[in-house]
Amino acid sequence: MTTCNNFINNAIVAPVDGQYCEVTSPMTNEVIGKCAVSSAADVNTAVDCATAAFPSWSSLTMKARAAIMLKFHALVKRDTQKLAELIVLENGKNMVEAVADVAKGNETVEYACSLPQVAQGKNLTVSRGIDCRDTRRPLGVVASIVPFNFPFMVPMWTSPIALVLGNCVIVKPSEKVPLTMNAVCSLVVEAGFPPGVFQFVHGTADCCNAIIESPKIEAVSFVGSSPIAKIVADKCRGLNKRVVALGGAKNHLVALSDAEKEGTIRDVVASFAGASGQRCMAASVLLVVGENDQYDLISEVVEKAKGLVLGTAAGELGPVIDARSKDKILGYIKDSEKSGAEILLDGRNPSSVPTASGNWLSPTIILHKNKTDKALHEEIFGPVLSIYKVKTWNEAIAIENGNAFGNAACIYTSKGGSADWFTSRFRAGMLGVNVGIPVPREPFAFGGLYGTLSKYGDGDITSEGAIEFFTTRIKITTRWPAPTAEEVGAEVGVGGDANDAANFNGKM
Ligand code: NAD
C-alpha cells in the first residue's frame, strides 16, 4: 500500500484535512494505495512556496535551468523500469506500453533541454537608429491538471517546458493513478530542482478548483475529458487566466479500396485496441469506402483483433481503468445492438481473464447500420471499433467533419493525390496518412483543433505552442544617441568613418 502525499517545497507533506481517496488496481480492483485529497489550504501552501521560489529560479539563465532538466532526463531514463512497473500496476496498460509512456514523456523533457537553442527572442533594427528586440518572460507560478491514461507522459507534456522557461510548476496528477508521479518526487530532489520549483498536489475537483481560483497561479494547462476541459477553460477565462485545455476525442480512420493490406490491418487494430482504447489518439471509427476486390478489410481486421490476448505482457490487452468505465463501454455496445448494429466481434465476456475481478474487456468491433448510433459520435474510451461503410469520399468527409471532436484523423491509401484530398479536408488537429496513431513528436506540437470538443483555450500543449503559452513576450525598443565627432575623433557621416577599424565598411 502506497500513500501518495503532496510534494511541496521538496518535502512529502500530508494534506491538512487528512483526507485520502483509495487507489485501486484495474487488474483486481483491490486497493493498492491511498491518494491525498487536498483542499485549498494545501494548494495555497504550494502556491506560496512556488511564489517564494520564483524570483531566484527565474533569474537563473535558461541554460542553468536546462542543465537541471538534463539531469532529470538521465534519472528518468535510469528509473524507466521502476516507473513503468507502477504504470502497469495503477493504470493497467501492458509493460511495453508503460515503458513507452515513460520514454515519450522523457522526449518532452529532452525537448525542454534544447530550449536555450530554440526559445530566443527576435532582434531587428526597425527604424534608422532604433532597434527592437523581444525577450521571453516566464509567467510565474503555473499549474497542470492531468488525466489517468498516461500517468507519466502527460504530466511531462507541459512541466519541463514551463520549468526551463523559468516558471514554477504545480502538477495535479490524476487521483486514479497518483503512484507514478509520487515516485517522481525523489527524482525532482535528486536532479537538483530548488524547493518550491516543481511540486505535486494530489486531489479531486475541489483541489482543481482551488488551483484555478488561486490568484497567484498565472496559467493552467489541462488534459482530460471534454466536459471537464470546458469547465476548466470557462472558469479560467472568467478569471482572465491563460488556459489551454485538451479534451476528448473521436478519431476517424478512412480506408480507401487501394489501402495496402498488411499495414492497414495491423494499424487499425493497434490503434483501436492498443492501451485498451484508452488513448486520446486511438482510432474509434473506421469508415470503409467502397468495395475492395483484393481483400475484405473488415473481416481481416476482425480476424486480427480476435487474436489479441488479455494481460499485461507485450502485445496483450490490459484492463480498462475502473468498473464505471467498463459499464459505460458496455452501455455503448448494448445501445448499438439495440439500434440494429451487427457485433462482428464481441468482447463483452472474455473467455479467459487473467484475474477474476479486474475490469477486463476483449476487443469489440461493431458494424453500424444507423448513422445516428451514439457509439459513432461519443467518446467511448475502450477497446471498441465502430465501422461504417460509405460509398463515396465526400460521404466519408461529411461524417468525419460532422463529428463534434477534432483531435485526429487518418487516411489509408496508396495514392498520394487521394491522401492529399483527405488531409486538406479533415477537420482535426493531427492527421495521419497510413499512420493509425498520428502523434506529432517533438519538435511538432501536440493538440486537437480549437473550436471542437477536443480543445479549448490558447496555444498548444507542447513544442512552440507551449513556449508561447508559458511566456510573455516583452518588446524593448532602444535608441542610443549617435556618438559625437569628438568622441569618435573623426568626422562621422552616413555609412561610417572610412578609417574606422571596427567598421570594415564592406571591405574584409
Ligand atoms: P477527467 O476529465 O475525468 O479528469 C482529468 C483531470 O481533471 C483529473 O486530474 C481530475 O482530477 C480533474 N478533474 C475532475 N473533475 C474536475 C473538475 N470539476 N474541475 C477540474 N478538474 C477536474 O479525464 P480522465 O478520465 O482522467 O482521462 C480520460 C480523458 O482524457 C479522455 O476523455 C481522453 O480523451 C482525455 N485525454 C485527452 C488527451 C488529449 O490530448 N486531448 C490526452 C489524454 C487524455
Residues counted in the chain: 508
**Number of Cβ within a 10 Å radius of residue 349:** 9
Ligand 1 centre distance from Cα of residue 426 (Å) = 25
Measured from the Cα of 145, ligand 1's closest atom is 9
Say what the pLDDT of residue 441 is.
87
Residue nearest to atom 40 of ligand 1 (CA): 246
Instruction: With a cut of 70, say whether residue 442 has pLDDT above it.
Output: yes
- Alpha helices of 295-404 — where are they, by DSSP H? 297-306, 323-338, 393-401
User: Does the CA dihedral 318-334-324-387 come out positive or negative?
Assistant: positive
| Mean pLDDT across the chain | 95
Measured from the Cα of 227, ligand 1's closest atom is 2
The CA distance from 417 to 64, in Å, is 48
Helix axes 297-306, 261-273, angle to 10 degrees: 50
Mean pLDDT across 215-233: 98
Say what the pLDDT of residue 458 is.
82
Please give all residues whose beta carbon lies within 6 A of any atom in ligand 1, as ranges: 145-149, 154, 172, 174-175, 204-205, 208, 223-225, 228, 231-232, 246-249, 280, 379, 381, 407, 448, 454
Instruction: With a cut of 90, say whether residue 482 has pLDDT above it.
Output: no
Pocket test for ligand 1, best of 202, 209, 280, 403 (most atoms within 8 A of CB): 280
C-alpha cell at 229: 476541459
Helix (H, G, I), strand (E, B) or coil at 178: coil
- Active site annotation includes 4: no
Instruction: With a cut of 90, say whether residue 492 has pLDDT above it.
Output: no
CB distance 26 to 6 below 8 Å: no
pLDDT tens figures, 171-214: 999 999 999 999 999 999 999 999 999 999 999 999 999 999 99
Say what the pLDDT of residue 295 is.
84
Say what the pLDDT of residue 455 is.
97
Mean pLDDT across 65-77: 98
User: At 469, which helix (H) or strand (E)?
Assistant: helix 463-469
CB distance 175 to 206 below 8 Å: no
pLDDT band of 294, cuts 50, 70, 90: confident
Mean pLDDT across 460-488: 91
Say what the pLDDT of residue 499 is.
61
Say what the pLDDT of residue 506 is.
57
Give this prediction's pTM: 0.95
Mean pLDDT across 245-274: 97
- Give the residue, 374 or 483, on which the prediction is more confident: 374
Sequence letter at residue 234? D
Which residue in 43, 33, 92 sits closest to 204, CA to CA?
43
Ligand 1 centre distance from Cα of residue 402 (Å) = 23
Which residue in 419, 410, 377 sits closest to 283, CA to CA?
410
Mean pLDDT across 220-239: 98
Ligand 1 centre distance from Cα of residue 39 (Å) = 19
Which residue in 321, 323, 363 sits closest to 89, CA to CA?
321
Say what the pLDDT of residue 292 is.
75
Mean pLDDT across 134-162: 97
Say what the pLDDT of residue 286 is.
98
Ligand 1 centre distance from Cα of residue 361 (Å) = 22
Which residue in 250, 60, 76 sits closest to 153, CA to CA?
76
Instruction: With a cut of 70, say whether residue 497 has pLDDT above it.
Output: no
Pocket test for ligand 1, best of 91, 145, 441 (most atoms within 8 A of CB): 145
Helix (H, G, I), strand (E, B) or coil at 65: helix
Instruction: With a cut of 90, say whether residue 487 has pLDDT above it.
Output: no
Ligand 1 centre distance from Cα of residue 418 (Å) = 35
Instruction: With a cut of 70, say whether residue 299 has pLDDT above it.
Output: yes
Say what the pLDDT of residue 129 is.
86
Mean pLDDT across 228-237: 98
Residue nearest to atom 17 of ligand 1 (CA): 205
Instruction: With a cut of 60, say whether residue 291 has pLDDT above it.
Output: yes
pLDDT tens figures, 81-129: 999 999 999 999 999 999 999 999 999 999 999 999 999 888 999 988 8
